[in-house]
């Protein structure tokens, strides 16, 4: 194994939803950035994992997240030859916000190109194993096939989705014994929906469940939507893996195997039992099963459900977090809790991106410091990207000023992210939450 020693101002752990934006923001602010990503592309859950639906660039009333994520989204749409509709051109929807899909191969390539052009040093197929402190530096050891890399850096940003760096440092994290189910994303194509009658396919599905041909979770939302919905989606984002825990390789392997077994069972059922699906083809399967929640960092502030639902105004808000609470479960599939008004705009305080009692480490994405109910709203992709941009800015400013990211003034973080297109976070409203 080759040992490579190098230095970087900032190391970003994980180039997923939050991490690729953090890296681009930091490097654009003039510091050197090494991005270590365990898989083979940027974007994480939104690309490699096949959840290609970033929520929410805007609410029905205002833009809520823009910045580097929005820039990449627009660039990828331009390559597809699609015009992105402005907020005012889109139709109102019952649920808050608007869904926008990305094209996975294009977005992942556009994001990679932007990172490389900006000067991010990307290391794919590599994972962070150890981290120790040496004076004012971190010494990070990462492993890849044939490579042991030792990187000396000033700031580290944990965007691993499972708090790998925070845990390796022995900082406090939390993991609920009861967690949301995970999912393996795939898509069945070629179902002739004109042949599908909702009542009939519902009965066929229920009989298959009774007879044990299918298992609970193969169709995740049995308690809230008819089975026809699964067919319309071609199974995409429609199954649950109840004991999914991707925080280590054994858990990831187990979830992959269960996810694929569920996928194959459903495909065989659909093709042989559903009228109109005789020629259905299992066309797409994404690389790995995904967790909706795992480890959460215990930070300098823990965002609570009540704060999220009342859009608690934080003095140190660094980005907006517009979304409803989307709590997946085993009982009926999913519980959704909406804000009283679509005018309410929750935010993310900087303190929830700083592990408690730490220096020179920040976090972003679904590992932020929040209770599990509020996390079920904050974890939306646009919010993850906006958090990534904020901590990328904080790390860069800290290196430039020879100080710690935690000591960077929030106004300076906001000013820097705004230079890169970000929306100013809401710091205005408060409402009682029963």
Ligand X SMILES: Cc1cc2nc3c(=O)[nH]c(=O)nc-3n(C[C@H](O)[C@H](O)[C@H](O)COP(=O)(O)OP(=O)(O)OC[C@H]3O[C@@H](n4cnc5c(N)ncnc54)[C@H](O)[C@@H]3O)c2cc1C
| Contact residues: ligand X, CB under 6 A | 13-19, 36-39, 44-46, 51, 53-55, 127-128, 159-162, 164, 183, 237, 290, 292, 365-366, 379-381, 384
Instruction: DSSP for 323-363, please give it.
Output: --EEEE-SSSSEEEE--S-TT---EEEGGGGSBTT-SSEEE
Distance in Å, CB of 165 to ligand X, minimum: 7
In the bound state with ligand X, the residue whose beta carbon lies nearer, of 168 and 274, is 168
Rounded Cα–Cα distance for residues 199 and 193 (Å): 13
Distance in Å, CB of 292 to ligand X, minimum: 4
Distance in Å, CB of 61 to ligand X, minimum: 19
Distance in Å, CB of 112 to ligand X, minimum: 13
Distance in Å, CB of 255 to ligand X, minimum: 11
Q: Residue 8: how many CB atoms within 10 A of its CB?
A: 25
In the bound state with ligand X, the residue whose beta carbon lies nearer, of 9 and 185, is 185
Distance in Å, CB of 51 to ligand X, minimum: 4
Residue whose Cβ sits closest to ligand X: 16
In the bound state with ligand X, the residue whose beta carbon lies nearer, of 168 and 399, is 168
Classify residue 411 by burial, with Cβ atoms within 10 Å: 0-12, 13-18, 19+.
Answer: exposed
In the bound state with ligand X, the residue whose beta carbon lies nearer, of 42 and 277, is 42
Question: Which residues, 6 or more positions from 8, have their beta carbon under 8 angstroms from its beta carbon?
Answer: 32, 33, 34, 121, 151, 152, 153
In the bound state with ligand X, the residue whose beta carbon lies nearer, of 53 and 233, is 53
Rounded Cα–Cα distance for residues 174 and 398 (Å): 27
In the bound state with ligand X, the residue whose beta carbon lies nearer, of 214 and 385, is 385
Q: Which residues pair with 362 in a beta bridge?
A: 157
Peptide bond into 56 cis (omega under 30): yes
Q: Residue 232: how many CB atoms within 10 A of its CB?
A: 15
Q: Which two tokens stand for residue 126?
A: 């590599």
């Amino acid at each position: 194994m080759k040992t490579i020693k190098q230095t970087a101002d900032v190391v970003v752990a994980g180039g997923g939803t939050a991490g690729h934006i953090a890296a681009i923001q930091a490097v654009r602010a003039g510091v050197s950035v090494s991005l270590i990503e365990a898989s083979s592309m940027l974007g994480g859950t939104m690309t490699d994992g096949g959840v290609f639906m970033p929520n929410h660039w805007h609410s029905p009333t205002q833009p809520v997240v823009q910045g580097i994520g929005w820039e990449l989204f627009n660039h990828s749409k331009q390559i597809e030859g699609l015009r992105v509709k402005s907020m005012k051109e889109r139709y109102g929807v019952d649920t808050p916000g608007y869904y926008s899909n990305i094209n996975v191969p294009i977005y992942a390539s556009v994001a990679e190109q932007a990172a490389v052009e900006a000067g991010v040093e990307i290391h794919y197929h590599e994972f962070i194993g150890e981290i120790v402190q040496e004076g004012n530096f971190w010494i990070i050891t990462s492993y890849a096939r044939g490579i042991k890399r030792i990187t000396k850096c000033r700031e580290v940003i944990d965007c691993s989705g499972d708090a790998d760096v925070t845990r390796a440092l022995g900082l406090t994290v939390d993991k609920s014994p009861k967690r949301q189910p995970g999912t393996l994303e795939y898509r069945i194509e070629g179902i002739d929906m004109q042949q599908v009658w909702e009542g009939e396919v519902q009965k066929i599905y229920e009989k298959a469940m009774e007879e044990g041909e299918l298992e609970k979770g193969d169709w995740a939302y049995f308690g809230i939507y008819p089975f026809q919905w699964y067919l319309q989606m071609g199974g995409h984002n429609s199954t649950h893996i109840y004991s999914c825990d991707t925080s280590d390789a054994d858990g990831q392997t187990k979830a992959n195997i269960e996810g694929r077994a569920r996928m194959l069972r459903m495909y065989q059922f659909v093709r042989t039992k559903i009228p109109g699906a005789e020629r259905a083809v299992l066309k797409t399967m994404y690389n790995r099963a995904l967790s909706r929640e795992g480890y959460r960092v215990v930070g300098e502030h823990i965002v609570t459900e009540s704060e999220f639902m009342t859009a608690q105004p934080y003095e140190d808000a660094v980005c907006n977090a517009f979304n409803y609470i989307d709590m997946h479960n085993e009982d009926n599939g999913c519980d959704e809790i909406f804000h009283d008004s679509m005018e309410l705009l929750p935010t993310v305080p900087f303190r929830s991106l700083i592990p408690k009692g730490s220096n020179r480490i920040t976090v972003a994405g679904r590992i932020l410091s929040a209770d599990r109910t509020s996390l079920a709203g904050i974890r939306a992709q646009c919010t993850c990207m906006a958090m990534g941009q904020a901590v990328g800015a904080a790390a860069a400013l800290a290196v430039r000023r020879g100080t710690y990211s935690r000591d960077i003034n929030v106004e300076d973080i906001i000013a820097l992210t705004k230079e890169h297109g970000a929306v100013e976070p809401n710091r205005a409203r408060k409402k009682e939450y029963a």
